[in-house]
């Protein structure tokens, strides 16, 4: 009786291993994030290379998390950067956090459309079907695209110069290199 | 029944078998905690990835990820004062321009001149607004560890020209006013009043341009 019961149970670990394939992981190797803000007198861009990210693929889907310190964005003017930090509540909410989930086979495509959840300035905004270009370079995947963010999405008071406010559109250009593990 | 089997197998199996046996039957529970919430984008479970990364996995030091309300309050105070500095600075340009324009007519030959009095009055208003503007900049909170970069460096450097200029110009102007009132020809240091005034106004205008335009 015990033999009949034990034998299937001895097979169970093997079955368990076949039912759960090993997870694939991705690590962000390099990144360039660039925000763009428009004013009639100024076109401003701030650049950060300080993002860190990780992706874990499981059962055909990959969950990605990318975070970048708000302080790391450099527009070339320290006064402007400090105002940006204040306007975006960057001391109180120091990180921009982006979450997304894409199919595992997206790395084989040249274009992927991702739904993004972005936490910034103490607010959360969703962006649907944001297109990203995917380029495979050896063991690395290079992803680039533009997130159509706006200042009002995150309830930020628009900065002004000479009593003229900046435009609401604040597109963020993303260029990333991911390494599979 | 399952517990009885677990005890029997525990005698000659590893802990892996025990973990599998004591787990309830697969079909009776959700394998992933969020599956009950349902994900309309997926036809089949799992709804969530149990190994999805978290912010702590990325390697940022805690000091970088934790908010600092005191620092935010300092930034808010700084921005508030610098916004007032900006507005007052723009307002000051009006009497400053008027002072410069009336200065062209203030050096008349007569000992009493309405234009000279007007020029002096406008200069006083300009001086009062100027130093009020400067107050909001000088006493705005500093952010420790910030290195000054960009065109703001020019804006700050110009203050070393128009600042002393706004002190020297009215002093020389008062000397010139007295000399003129006594019927004397303007001479000595007082004769530099006009030149110092023009340089001061030019530096002030350039200071505004340095934070308004990119060059």
Q: How far lies A70's CA from each of A87, B83, B99, B165, B193, in Å?
A: 11, 22, 44, 39, 49
Share of chain A above pLDDT 70, in %: 88
Q: What is the mean pLDDT of chain B?
A: 82
B127-167 residue pLDDT tens = 999 999 999 999 999 999 899 999 999 999 999 999 999 99
Where does the pLDDT of residue B49 fall: very low under 50, low under 70, confident under 90, or very high at 90 and above?
A: low
User: Does residue B149 contact residue B173 with C-beta atoms inside 8 Å?
Assistant: no
Option in B16, B53, B55 nearest A13 (CB): B16
Report the mean per-residue pLDDT for chain A.
89
- Pick among B58, B65, B82, B89 to test the A interface (most A CBs inside 10 A): B58
What pLDDT does residue B1 have?
Answer: 60
Is the Cβ pair B213, A63 closer than 8 Å?
A: no
Using CA atoms, how far apart are residues A125 and A119, in angstroms rounded to an integer? 7
pLDDT-based confidence at residue B106 (cuts at 50, 70, 90) = confident
Residues of chain B with Cβ-Cβ distance to A76 below 8 Å are 149-150
- B10-27 per-residue burial string, b: 16 or more CB within 10 A, e: under 16: eeebeeebeeebeeeeee
Q: Are A39 and A167 in contact (CB under 8 A)?
A: yes
Picking from B57, B79, B152, the nearest residue to A77 by CB comes out as: B152
Helix, strand or coil for residue B51?
coil
Q: Which residues of chain A neighbour B137 with C-beta distances below 8 Å?
A: none
Q: Tell me the shortest Cα–Cα distance from B51 to chain A, in angstroms.
A: 7
Length of chain A: 181
Please compute the mean of the pLDDT values over residues A102-124 and round it to a whole number. 94
Cβ pair B64, A94 in contact under 8 A:
yes
Q: Which of B1, B67, B85 to mutate to test the interface with A (most CBs of A within 10 A)?
A: B67
Quick check: helix, strand or coil at residue A61? strand
Beta bridge partners of A134: A143
CA pair distance A52, A26, nearest whole angstrom = 11
Mean pLDDT computed over B100-117 = 79
Nearest-neighbour CA in chain B from A27: distance (Å): 9
Point out the residue among B143, B212, B214 whose CB comes nearest to the CB of A162. B212
Contact A85 B52 (CB under 8 A): no
Is the ipTM reported for this complex over the cut 0.95?
no
What is the mean pLDDT of the segment spanning B62-88? 96
A51, A83, B79, B140 from A75: Cα distances, Å? 16, 11, 17, 22
Q: CA separation (Å) from B68 to A93, A179, B65, B73, B147? A: 8, 33, 10, 9, 20
CA B110 to chain centre: 50
Contacts with B82 from chain A: Cβ below 8 Å: 83
Which of B75, B155, B209 is most worth mutating to test chain A (most A CB atoms within 10 A of its CB)? B75
Q: Which of B87, B171, B100 minimizes the C-alpha distance to B129?
A: B87
What pLDDT is recorded for position B110?
61
The C-alpha atoms of residue B44 and residue B39 are separated, in whole angstroms, by 9
- When CB atoms are compared, the residue of A77, A86, A101 closest to B75 is A86
pLDDT tens readout for residues A7-25: 444 444 444 444 445 678 9
Instruction: Write out the two tokens for A101.
Output: 């989930």
pLDDT tens column, B32-46: 333 333 333 333 444
C-alpha to C-alpha distance for A8 and A13, rounded to whole angstroms: 10
């Amino acid at each position: 009786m015990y033999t009949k019961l034990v034998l299937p149970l001895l097979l169970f670990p093997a079955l368990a291993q076949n039912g759960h394939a090993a997870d694939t992981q991705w690590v962000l190797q390099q990144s360039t994030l660039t925000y763009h803000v428009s004013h009639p007198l100024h076109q401003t861009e701030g650049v950060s290379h300080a993002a860190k990210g990780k992706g874990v693929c499981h059962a055909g889907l990959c969950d990605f998390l990318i975070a970048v310190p708000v302080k790391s964005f450099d527009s070339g003017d320290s006064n402007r950067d400090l105002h940006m930090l204040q306007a975006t509540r960057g001391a109180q909410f120091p990180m921009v956090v982006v979450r997304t989930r894409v199919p595992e086979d997206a790395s084989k495509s040249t274009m992927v459309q991702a739904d993004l959840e972005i936490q910034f300035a103490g607010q959360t905004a969703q962006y649907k079907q944001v297109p990203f270009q995917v380029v495979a370079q050896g063991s690395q995947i290079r992803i680039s695209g533009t997130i159509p963010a706006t200042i009002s999405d995150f309830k930020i008071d628009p900065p002004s110069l000479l009593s003229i406010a900046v435009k609401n559109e604040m597109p963020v250009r993303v260029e990333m290199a991911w390494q599979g593990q | 029944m399952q517990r009885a089997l677990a005890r029997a197998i525990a005698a000659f199996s590893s802990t892996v078998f025990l973990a599998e046996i004591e787990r309830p039957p697969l079909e009776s529970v959700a394998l992933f905690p969020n599956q009950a919430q349902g994900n309309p984008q997926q036809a089949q479970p799992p709804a969530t990835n149990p190994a999805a990364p978290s912010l702590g996995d990325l390697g940022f030091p805690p000091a970088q990820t934790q908010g600092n309300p005191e620092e935010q309050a300092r930034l808010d105070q700084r921005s508030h004062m610098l916004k007032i500095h900006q507005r007052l600075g723009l307002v000051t340009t009006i009497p400053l321009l008027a002072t410069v324009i009336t200065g062209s007519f203030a050096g008349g030959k007569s000992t009493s001149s309405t234009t000279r009095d007007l020029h002096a009055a406008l200069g006083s208003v300009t001086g009062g607004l100027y130093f009020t503007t400067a107050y909001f900049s000088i006493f705005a909170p500093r952010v420790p560890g910030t290195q000054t970069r960009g065109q703001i460096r020019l804006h700050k450097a110009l203050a070393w020209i128009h600042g002393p200029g706004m002190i020297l110009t009215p002093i020389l102007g008062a000397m010139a006013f007295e000399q003129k009132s006594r019927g004397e020809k303007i001479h000595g240091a007082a004769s530099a009043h006009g030149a110092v005034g023009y340089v001061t106004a030019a530096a002030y205008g350039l200071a505004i341009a340095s934070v308004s335009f990119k060059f």
